[in-house]
């Protein structure tokens, strides 16, 4: 069902953002489904307003996703 929603949204010209992503496995699945963006606890916990810019600065201004949490190989 999610893959269908992503596909339909893209055919209608929308960018797709997955919300509430909590695991690396979910990121992998969404990536395979061609989801454009994702947000959730797997990337960062909610931040206080004053903590947002320092959190972003940790990534040197690169236009890259923060590193995913480490996971053990299956």
Model pLDDT for residues 22-39, shown as the tens digit of each residue: 999 999 999 999 999 999
In this structure, is residue 18 part of a structural domain?
yes
pTM, two decimals, is 0.66
Residue 10: CB partners within 8 Å, gap ≥ 6? 16, 34
CB 65 within 8 A of CB 43: yes
In this structure, is residue 63 part of a structural domain?
no
Dist. CA 46–CA 39, nearest whole Å:
11
In this structure, is residue 67 part of a structural domain?
no
Residue 57: CB partners within 8 Å, gap ≥ 6? none
pLDDT class of 56 with cuts at 50, 70, 90: confident
Query: What residue numbers bound the domain in which 48 lies?
Result: 2-57
In this structure, is residue 16 part of a structural domain?
yes
pLDDT value at position 72? 62
In this structure, is residue 29 part of a structural domain?
yes
Q: Specify the 3-state DSSP secondary structure of 68.
A: coil
CB 30 within 8 A of CB 16: no
In this structure, is residue 26 part of a structural domain?
yes
């Amino acid at each position: 069902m999610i893959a269908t929603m992503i596909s339909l949204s893209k055919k209608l010209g929308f960018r797709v953002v997955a919300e509430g992503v909590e695991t690396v496995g979910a990121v992998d699945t969404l990536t395979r489904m061609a989801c454009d963006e994702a947000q959730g606890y797997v990337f960062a916990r909610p931040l206080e307003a004053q903590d947002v810019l320092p959190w972003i600065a940790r990534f040197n201004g690169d236009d890259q996703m923060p590193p995913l949490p480490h996971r053990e190989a299956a």
